[in-house]
């Protein structure tokens, strides 16, 4: 069910589903996070970055590079931390 919710029509539901599923479905969570790096929703980009960090993903450094110039303060704050 959580996998389906990562594609829900409501952005908040998608984010919460990813946060919940990343503890058990590592590869799936990483894939979803990578696909959200270009999301129009700043909180989705932030959660994507956070998920890659929590998973210790090999893609984290590249994700940081992609989002380094992001205009959203929440994304910049996550990069700094």
The whole-model pTM stands at: 0.93
pLDDT one-digit tens code per residue, 39-48 = 999 999 999 9
pLDDT one-digit tens code per residue, 59-73 = 999 999 999 999 999
> For the chain, what are the domain ranges?
2-80
CA–CA dist 1, 3 (Å, integer): 5
Is the confidence at residue 49, as pLDDT, over 90? yes
Q: Model confidence at 81, in pLDDT bands (50, 70, 90)?
A: confident
Q: Which of 4, 38, 40, 37 is nearest to 20 (CA)?
A: 4
Contact (Cβ atoms closer than 8 angstroms) between residue 18 and residue 29: yes
């Amino acid at each position: 069910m959580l996998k389906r919710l990562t594609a829900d029509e409501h952005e908040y539901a998608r984010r919460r589903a990813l946060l919940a599923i990343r503890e058990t479905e590592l590869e799936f969570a990483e894939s979803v996070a990578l696909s959200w790096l270009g999301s129009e929703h700043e909180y989705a980009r932030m959660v994507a970055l956070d998920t890659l960090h929590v998973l210790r993903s090999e893609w984290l450094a590249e994700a940081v590079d992609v989002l380094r110039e992001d205009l959203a303060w929440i994304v910049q704050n996550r990069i700094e931390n």
